[in-house]
Amino acid sequence: MDTSYLKQFYKKTRNEKIQALQQAGVISAADAQMLKEGLSLPDEAAENMIENQLAKYELPYGVAPGFLIDGKEYVVPMAMEEPSVIAAASAAAKVIGAAGGFHTTISKRRMIGQIALKDLPDLAAAEKMVLANKAAILQLANRAHPSIVKRGGGAKALEVRLLPADATIDSPDFLVVQLQIETLEAMGANIVNTMMEGIRDELEELTGGTVLMGILSNYAIECLATATCRIPAHLLKRGQFSGADVRDRLIEAFQFAYVDPYRAVTHNKGIMNGIDAVVLASGNDWRAIEAGAHAYAAKDGQYRSLATWSKADNGDLLGELTLPLPVGTVGGSIGIHPAAQFTKRLLNYVSAQELEAVIVSVGLAQNFSALKALVTEGIQKGHMGLHARSLAINVGAQGKEIDQVTQQLKKAKNMNTATAEQLLAAIRQSAQH
């Protein structure tokens, strides 16, 4: 990748951006053409994806260039409707890139499947029986989905959890059999669910209980991704704030989100702004990632910040983000949606682990930018600047009018719909004279 073509990327027109990506060697001529045409989902694919399909709901698809992750440069795709997220990701990528980039650790990828049993005549005996037949149960699960075993994956481990009756909701005792399953390049929901159904009857026979359900758990704590960064304080200077001030205030902002769930939810929403946008661009199931991430944020019993920020002995700012990231490079709609296929070529990743590395880094970048803005000039300055453009479009500005209304709105005392309407009317009136 020749990044010299990507300098001042945000200042280019849409066509210039596409051309720059091609000149930089990030995309092919054919992909440049595809981008110009819009990466839209064919009608037939849409019709077959969901039930009662009526139309296609589009979202903008953009990129944040300049991500240096484990020594490799990425132009990161993001699909989303919210202004300022891509700008924030790009700004963070620039600072963190100058500091050596993101470093990631990706765990082995194991998904978790559950079978809940109830009405057990003898809970302890049932547990003993399941554990004594561990190998046979794993084998049975693997027989239910032989193709994943052939590829080198499959059910690898089994554990049993006893969930005692809860008198407050009048629930029965549950015995939960959990399998850890390697689904390789797939997110694996279908693989796991098939395996869970494949062992139901055997578990009922072994325990004398009744299966309530068998399903994947989205609490994918055996599929964790971590990104870290280390930023010298002098790179953090902003306005009247020294680099050391920004570092210390940013650490306090993390501490606030660590101790206060009200703040942590918004703090993590900011992290998910980036994560969801890349997950969506890659054709993955963002609801699965959202559910797992928020559960992980509450893993010690209190909902906390997903990322941590601290000061190194030499005064550098240290950032770290860990969350479950069970994304796939195959399966679901990934092979069907042209935008997901384009994302694959754009990121040029070789595995689901590499895709995880990109996504977790974007989450850390997003958190960095949000906290840095919040503890210095606040986020409204940047955010409202971008919001002005949405307001201009909302009130009907077209073509050149969009820029004109946006610029005047930024200077206006009240940035709202009424002001945008007045400005547009004035621009149109003066154009008639």
d(CA 153, CA 155): 7
Closer by beta carbon to ligand NDP, 59 or else 259: 59
Per the residue annotation, which of 103, 269, 294, 311 is the catalytic one? 269
Cα-based torsion angle of the residue sequence 265, 266, 268, 270 in order, rounded to the nearest 10 degrees: 160
Establish whether 122 is a catalytic residue. no
**Are the C-beta atoms of residues 78 and 62 closer than 8 Å to each other?**
yes
Cα-based torsion angle of the residue sequence 348, 353, 359, 365 in order, rounded to the nearest 10 degrees: -100
What's the closest the beta carbon of residue 288 comes to ligand NDP, in angstroms? 4
Check binding of 432 to ligand NDP (CB under 6 A).
no
Establish whether 269 is a catalytic residue. yes
Per the residue annotation, which of 285, 316, 320, 401 is the catalytic one? 285
Determine which residue in the list 95, 191, 364, 405 makes contact with ligand NDP, applying CB under 6 A.
191
d(CA 208, CA 326): 34
Determine which residue in the list 4, 8, 147, 240 makes contact with ligand NDP, applying CB under 6 A.
147
Environment class of 306 (CB within 10 Å of its CB; exposed 0-12, middle 13-18, buried 19+): buried
Establish whether 285 is a catalytic residue. yes
Residue with tokens 């700004």: 91
Check binding of 274 to ligand NDP (CB under 6 A).
no
Chain Cα centroid distance, residue 24? 26
Determine which residue in the list 5, 332, 354, 409 makes contact with ligand NDP, applying CB under 6 A.
332
d(CA 420, CA 408): 9
Report CA-CA distances (Å) from 248 to 244, 314, 316, 375. Answer: 6, 13, 10, 10
Q: Enter the DSSP assignment of 6.
A: G
Closer by beta carbon to ligand NDP, 287 or else 400: 287
Closer by beta carbon to ligand NDP, 161 or else 287: 287
Exposure b/e, 5-22, CB count within 10 A at least 16 = b = bbeebeebeeeebbbbbb
Establish whether 82 is a catalytic residue. yes
Q: Is 382 helix (H, G, I), strand (E, B) or coil?
A: helix
Judged by CB under 6 A, the number of residues near ligand NDP is: 20
Stretch that binds ligand NDP, among 48-56, 156-164, 184-192, 417-425 (CB under 6 A): 184-192
List the interface residues with ligand NDP, window 199-228 (CB under 6 A).
Answer: 216, 218
List the interface residues with ligand NDP, window 281-320 (CB under 6 A).
Answer: 285, 288
Report CA-CA distances (Å) from 413 to 207, 227, 407, 422. Answer: 71, 41, 13, 13
Stretch that binds ligand NDP, among 146-154, 220-228, 302-310, 367-375 (CB under 6 A): 146-154
Residue with tokens 């304080």: 233
Stretch that binds ligand NDP, among 15-23, 233-241, 301-309, 323-331 (CB under 6 A): 323-331
Check binding of 331 to ligand NDP (CB under 6 A).
yes
Determine which residue in the list 62, 154, 188, 324 makes contact with ligand NDP, applying CB under 6 A.
188
**Site residues (vs ligand NDP, CB under 6 A):** 147-148, 151, 183-191, 216, 218, 285, 288, 328, 330-332
Enumerate the active-site residues. Answer: 82, 269, 285, 383
